[in-house]
Amino acid sequence: MAGPFRRALAVLVAGGVGAAAGLPPVSNTKPAGPTARPVWNTAPAVCGEPTRPTLTASPLPGTVSGRVAFYAAEYAPTTQRVIRSVGLGALNELQPVASTYKPVVVELALRDVDAGRLSLNTPFTTTAANRSIEAYPPGTHTLVDLAKRAIVRSDNTAGDILQQAVGTQRVALSLRWRSPCTSVLLTSKAAWAAQGFLQSAVLGDDLLSGAHSYFALPFAERVAVATRLNANAARFTGPEVEAAIDSYFRGPLYDPFIDLAFQHTSTAKAYADLVARVYGGNNLQPGTRRLFRDLLSQGCCHPRTSPLNATYWGAKAGSGWRLLTLTGLVEMPGGRTFAYAYLNDGSDTLEAEDMEAQIPAVVTWIEQNLRTLAGK
């Protein structure tokens, strides 16, 4: 998805990954209209141990539908140990995180700045090969410009360029180490090209079967396949991918498992824990930390005023087809720290623009739960 949150979010052998993995084909010929409720062909995937939060979240706003998992916790500032928590839904089921992955990529890029591998003024030029869908930054921009576009405007091309600057494999491996239930393997362009049935050279001629086979690969092999998908996506222009993904979402091949297979994913528990470790910028040097926190304080979405009296509220949202995600880190006077992840997919609401209309009510709901967690 692009900023601020418009639409959709936001390998092995020449015969395709399906053939390589040796899994039975899954038919693409299933009845599915563009307004039909999504039907899973397989049980939702889980990761991590079942989580039992201290408190139960309040009822969701009436406009929300589909699968929702929400987890928020108070974390010890130095150890990141969970002190108390509040939750709703299946907290260890994998769901798409949409554009909330972008702060993680920006943080890794800024860590490369601190290490001297990159600089804030490193120039990057948008090309037909690296341009993603929707609005994009034409011409040449510095790393700091792209970081701002990625977080504040949720620009897909900016996010992709920074992900490639860090290295898609380095991003994948870093997250595997920091948060084993979180996967960021593909650029946004590569993921949407896969969902849009443009990646048959890598995945084979059956989209759903290719998605199942790719998703089932061991992590190291999946990273290898993702590397091929990322490279192959450069063959297509942004408008070509955008047209293909629009056709997929509204066509008979749409399946929520395909979304799960190719998009960035995590669980509500794992992602809130990751947000607690990343959004504060604690792994950065003072200068890059100030920059990172300033960008996230401008991110979507948090209340203009709040009884929490937060000294810092860093946030990032994501939206797409039937999809809305909201994440944030809240620091309060006295050093109390809270992080949260709200993951909603499979909604009865279709377009991203309509999903985004739910944001004010959901942000208010999140704040209410944070106030309960904080004892306010």
Q: Give the pLDDT confidence of 119-137 residue by residue, as tens digits.
A: 999 999 999 999 999 988 8
| 55-184+264-374 placed in CATH 3.40.710.10 | yes
Stated length of the chain = 376
pLDDT at 305: 85
- Name the β-bridge partners of 141: 124
Question: Under a CB-based contact definition with an 8 Å cutoff, are residues 18 and 206 in contact?
Answer: yes
When comparing pLDDT for 93 and 306, which is higher? 93
d(CA 313, CA 239) in angstroms, rounded, equals 35
Q: State the Cα–Cα distance between residues 368 and 358, nearest whole angstrom.
A: 16
- Biggest distance spanned by C-alpha atoms of the chain: 59
Binned at pLDDT 50, 70 and 90, residue 39 comes out as low
Tell me how far the alpha carbon of residue 161 is from its chain's centroid.
16
Q: Do 357 and 60 meet the contact criterion of CB atoms below 8 Å apart?
A: no
Instruction: Give per-residue pLDDT as tens, 153-179.
Output: 999 999 999 999 999 999 999 999 999
Per-residue confidence band for 41, with pLDDT thresholds at 50, 70 and 90 = low
Please say if the pLDDT value at position 185 is more than 70.
yes
Q: How far apart are CA 58 and CA 239, in angstroms?
A: 42
Q: What is the pLDDT of residue 15?
A: 32
- 361 contacts 63 by C-beta, under 8 angstroms: yes
Between CA 187 and CA 276 the distance in angstroms is 24
For residue 186, the one-letter residue type is: L
H/E stretch holding 345 reads strand 337-345
**Residues of the chain with pLDDT > 70: what percent?**
89
With beta carbons less than 8 A apart as the criterion, state whether 275 and 339 touch.
yes
